[in-house]
Every structure is written in C-alpha cells, then in structure tokens.
Amino acid sequence: MIELAGVSKIYNGIEALKNINLKVERGEILTILGPNGSGKTTLLKILGALEMPTEGFILSNGVRVDEGNAEETRRTTTLVFQRAVLLRGTVRDNVAYGLRIRNLAGPEIEKRVKAALSLVGLEDLADRPSKGLSGGEQQRCSLARALVLECNLLLLDEPTANLDPESMIIIKQVIKRLSERGVTIVLATHDLKQAQELSERILLLDGGEIVESGRPDDLFLGQSSDMARFTRSENFFSGESRVLEGVARINIGGGVEIHGALSRGGPVNIHVRPEDIIVSNERIVSSARNNLLGSIFRIEDHNSIIRIKVDVGVVFTVQITRRSFEEMGLNVGQEVYLTFKASSVMLL
C-alpha cells in the first residue's frame, strides 16, 4: 500500500536515512527495530508523509507522493509520536480533533470517540484536561486520537517506551486488536521482545540503513550477526554457554554467570529485558535462577518509570516504576540485588 524507493533523508548535513527500499503490505504488522538514533523516527515520518525524502520517492497506492498531494496521504495515514503531544482541552477534545477536521457529524464523533476511549481504557477520564494525565494515560490518549480516524495505515513510534506496566499491556492489546481488524501497522521499537511478540515482519535499521529483514523467528533464532550488533543497546551480553541439566550457564565476563533457559552451548548472544529484572535491597529467596549483587551507578528519570544502571561486574539496566523507586528509596552508590528468571534470558 505504501512503498519507499531509494529514499535518503539528510538533516542539517547528516544522513539520517540511506537508500531505503521498502514495501509495506496491506494488513501486515511490520516492526522497525533499531537502537536510538538509527533513523526509526525519520523513516516513520516519511511513511506518514510528514517529511519528504531528500532523494528517492514515496509511492502511496502506486501514486507518487509530493508536497502537493501529501495531505491526501496524511488523511489515510496517522503517526503516533514517541512522546505524547496533547492539545489543549479535555481528553475528549483531543480524540475528537481529527474527526472535527473531517467535518463529521456530532453524534458520529461522539460515538467514535467513546469507542476509541474505551478501547484504550480512558472512558472514565474523557472530561479530564489532557495536560493532567499521567505519562501512560497521555500515550493511550494519543493512540486513541489516532485510531479513532480508522486510517488504513497506523504508524507507531516506540508506543510502549518508558511506560507504566498497565499502559504498556493496554497498548499492546490495542495493537493486536487493530491488526486483527486488518489495519496495517508499522511500529518502531528498540524492544526486541516486543518486536518478536507483535510483528509478522521485522526490519533491522542501523545507521539509517536496513541491515536485515525477515520473519521474527528467522531473525531471533538464526544467530543473526546483525542482531548481535545491538550490543550498543542495554542488557546485551556475549559469552560462553555450557548446558547442564537443561539450563545454560553463560559466562558473560566480569565474573558474572547467568542461567538461561536455553539449550544451546558454545558462544551465544543474549538479552534480558530491563523490565524483567527485579531489584531488591535484600537477597530474595525465590525460584528465579539469577541473583546478582551490584551497586547502582546511575539513575535515569523517565517520568512514570525509572531506569537504573547497576554494576554487578557487568552493567545491567533495570526498569522499575516511579512508585517502587520512591518506596525503596534507591540512591546512587547503594548496593542492590538483581533477580530474574532463567526464562527471561533471550537468545539472539
């Protein structure tokens, strides 16, 4: 339905995208996976006809898109930004914005807004001022505002990044449901597990180039060398694996051995999601196979969630909610235990 041919984009002398050739098929759910700064957002903005390529061209249903007819494409394609941008007024006003532009009748707007809000679980907050929402609610409001338009193509930029768990689950469910309804979805993320769970096709973007693409199974279990290059991201480790009694013991350096529910021996690349790690002040006795002691050396604040870097010999990133963070009273330099299950260890 939309196709990019030889697309390059240069911003202030920097080449954000290089020679992208891409065809988005009707009804598919495509994930663009890549580290921060790899050009994901730029690619989505071009697919959404918000930016024009410096070189190459965009084809929408076979018609070339330019400044003159971009508005037509934008009427059937919507991008949800990574950072929720809300308009003044209530949640309801925000969700109704695109429908008002399309001059729909009042009762029709009311009906569709209501349905969209209930889909994202915000029906009770319809009359709240938009600026008073929490981070996760803002993101859900942005999603509702986009999906209410019933566009053919929905573009989502890191829809669940830095969100509270409740919002994350809701947004994932909504994406699945929309996809079942036949909406074409292109989703940018740096979350491997999300890419694996949600998508039918993954496109690996690095340094503005598509370095690999394929079905999730092929990419994740095929020992893709490009996947391993994501070591720039968080919680990616390479090491030697020995399989004993069905559990892989992986030495990832720094005197750290991780237990993973894997059956592969020898050199492996693994990943543990920051939100799958439990942080505690005392050692937790549990069924989880991994228990590491380390000290906090950095705390990053992302509003409703907090990311903590912990040095246990190697550096782990842990993601927790603000409430947990405040209740635990964590500080830089403090010693903490990290706990995660062997099944949280993903093989790349």
Partner 1 sequence: MVSAILEGLVKALELIASGDPTLVDITLRSLAISGLATILASCWSIPLGVFIGLGKFRGRSLFKGLFNVLLGLPTVTLGLVLYLVFSRSGPLGFLQLLYTPSVIVIGQAILITPVIVSFVANTLEAVDPEIRSLALTLGASEVRASLTVLNESLNGVLLAVTASFNRAIAELGVALMLGGNIRGATRVLTTTIALETNRGQIALGIAMAVVLLSIVGLVNILVSQARRWI
Q: Which residues bind partner 1 (CB under 8 A)?
A: 45, 48, 50, 71, 74-75, 77-79, 81, 83, 85, 87-88, 97-98, 101-102, 145-146, 149
Residue among 96 and 320 whose Cβ is closer to partner 1 = 96
Q: How far apart are CB 260 and partner 1 at their closest, in Å? A: 41
Residue among 75 and 193 whose Cβ is closer to partner 1 = 75
Q: How far apart are CB 75 and partner 1 at their closest, in Å? A: 5
Residue among 42 and 269 whose Cβ is closer to partner 1 = 42
Token match 């949280």: residue? 344
Q: Are strands 55-60 and 290-302 parallel, antiparallel or unpaired?
A: unpaired
Cα–Cα distance list, 218 to 204, 223, 235, 282 (Å): 12, 9, 21, 40
Cα–Cα distance list, 309 to 122, 219, 340 (Å): 33, 28, 15
Q: How far apart are CB 145 and partner 1 at their closest, in Å? A: 7
Residue among 18 and 74 whose Cβ is closer to partner 1 = 74
Exposed / middle / buried, residue 63 (Cβ in 10 Å: 0-12, 13-18, 19+): exposed
Q: How far apart are CB 78 and partner 1 at their closest, in Å? A: 5
Cα–Cα distance list, 127 to 113, 114, 124, 253 (Å): 12, 11, 8, 53
Q: How far apart are CB 65 and partner 1 at their closest, in Å? A: 13
Q: Is 318 in contact with 277 (CB distance < 8 Å)?
A: yes
Both tokens of 10, joined, read 């240069």
Q: How far apart are CB 79 and partner 1 at their closest, in Å? A: 5
Residue among 74 and 264 whose Cβ is closer to partner 1 = 74
Both tokens of 180, joined, read 């079942």
Residue among 145 and 249 whose Cβ is closer to partner 1 = 145
Residue among 45 and 341 whose Cβ is closer to partner 1 = 45
Within 10 A of 89 (CB to CB), how many other CB atoms are there?
A: 13
Q: How far apart are CA 22 and CA 32, in angstroms?
A: 11
Q: How far apart are CB 23 and partner 1 at their closest, in Å? A: 21
Q: Are strands 290-302 and 257-260 parallel, antiparallel or unpaired?
A: unpaired
Q: Is 183 in contact with 152 (CB distance < 8 Å)?
A: yes
144-160 b/e with 16+ CB inside 10 Å = b? bbbbbbbbbbbbbbbbb
Cα–Cα distance list, 63 to 3, 58, 66, 67 (Å): 10, 8, 10, 13
Q: How far apart are CB 126 and partner 1 at their closest, in Å? A: 18
Residue among 146 and 336 whose Cβ is closer to partner 1 = 146
